[in-house]
Amino acid sequence: MSRKYFGTDGIRGTVGQAPITPDFVLRLAHAVGRVLKRTEDRPTVLIGKDTRISGYMLESALESGFNSAGVDVVLLGPLPTPGVAYLTRALRASLGVVISASHNAYPDNGIKFFSAQGTKLTDAWEQAVEDALEEPAVWADSASLGKARRLDDAAGRYIEFCKSSFASDLTLKGLKIVVDAAHGAAYQIAPLVFHELGAEVIAIGCAPDGLNINHEVGATHPEALVRAVKANHADYGVALDGDADRLQVVDRAGRLYNGDELLYLMAAERLDHQPAEGPLAGVAGTLMTNMAVEVALKARGLQFVRAKVGDRYVLEELEKNRWILGGEGSGHLLALDKHTTGDGLISALQVLQACVRSGRTLAQLLEAVTLFPQTLINVRLHPGQDWKANALLASETAAVEAELGAAGRVLIRASGTEPLLRVMVEARDEAQAQACAQRLVDAIKAG
């Protein structure tokens, strides 16, 4: 199935350009409403958003589109993406809708959807919506129009849900934590979650103006967090992205820990209290997950599988294997025993819980993981160049893999958006990784 509008994470683009225009978004909501009404007489949809100025316009368009199809709407206001997923499930709604472009800058925005169970929807569902978009609108008559109301305590409900994921016998008292919400959806919620669990909180990136989301703050720009942790002599720093489903953590020394390391820590903390079997028998990463994490997890008796890049594909692997833990180096982390989707706040609490319970620092807990140096080189392909048929590249790749053995890894993949080939080599020695990557690049250029 070839989809015209839906990408790997909903529909996203530049505001004012198709498809992120108010007329299309109204039609989209109307089409979604008609799909919902095939199986439910009076559906109810929740709508949450991040802090982009365009959220007001798109929220109004969605509300009108749903109401025109006879669907009731509950407006949540600014709320993290995982908060919308939680409330959709908790309130037994038919669908959750998020207006956000995640870690993108403010000129972009997007629409993504959650099922009644708080999970991402299937390709087949998205195709049904695209098919409905091609059909003429069927406007509900006045008596059948949907209604809209606002849920005033949405933030409070989600705060309590986040806190419930932290062990009830533990507290964050005595810890000073810098919280960076990227001027995004968690700007009010994130500081309160850590404060109510006992921490002293220093908030940065918590003053949105509609135009500054993700601007030089948050998980995609952790330099601001590192500076704030050092300046305030804090114990930890937590950075989220614009819709708060991504996480980066900094310790007292200003060292930044990425999603690969945090994924290992979450798995190791659970292994300290339960055997490596059933839901905890394995962990899912991606093609880009650092090999050191794979080695460390296997040393603890865990299986490890790699999915395509994207938290959607990590989730597919977890569901297939009936495991609970997975994630990406970018900080999208999944703990399916805590939530149905990736949640930056809940992941941060899992990390802090491991530190508090053990009485050890992040550096101490991650002594078993020394990330392998990775060299990544992008090579521009000529028009019509078939890199898969390059015999020199094939033989050079085999030679590099033989040289690295079990102490390294080669990954060559085409970009999905540009005529580029991405060459990544991982090895225990940085100079070796760079030399091997250059050999592969030379083979590509000569082929």
Catalytic residues: 102
Q: CA nearest 139: which of 17, 15, 33?
A: 33
Q: Give the Cα separation of 318 and 80 in Å (integer).
A: 23
Distance (Å, whole) CA 340 – CA 331: 16
Task: Return d(Cα 68, Cα 83) in angstroms, integer.
Answer: 26
Under 8 Å between Cβ of 190 and 179: yes
Contact indicator for 303, 320 with CB cutoff of 8 Å: no
Token pair belonging to 155 = 């933030």
- Two tokens, residue 92: 């037994």
Angstrom distance (rounded) from CA 437 to CA 443: 10
Signed CA dihedral, 8, 347, 219, 250: sign only: negative
Whether the Cβ atoms of residue 53 and residue 99 lie closer than 8 Å to each other: no
Nearest to 409 by CA among 369, 367, 440: 440
- Give the Å distances, CA to CA, from 133 to 9, 12, 26, 110, 420: 18, 16, 11, 17, 33
Residue 95: left if φ>0, alpha if ψ -120 to 50, beta else—which one? Answer: beta
Q: For residues 88-120, b (16+ Cβ closer than 10 Å) or e, as one string?
A: bbebebbbbbbbbbbbbebbbbbbbbbbbebbb
Radius of gyration of the chain (CA): 23
Cβ–Cβ under 8 Å, residues 260 and 426: no
**Burial readout 30-48 (b: 16 or more C-beta within 10 A, e: otherwise):** bbbbbbbbeeeeebbbbbb
Tell me, rounded to whole angstroms, the distance of Cα 237 from its chain centroid.
19
DSSP symbols for 419-442: SEEEEEEEESSHHHHHHHHHHHHH
Q: DSSP alpha helices (H): ranges in 165-286?
A: 189-196, 223-231, 259-271
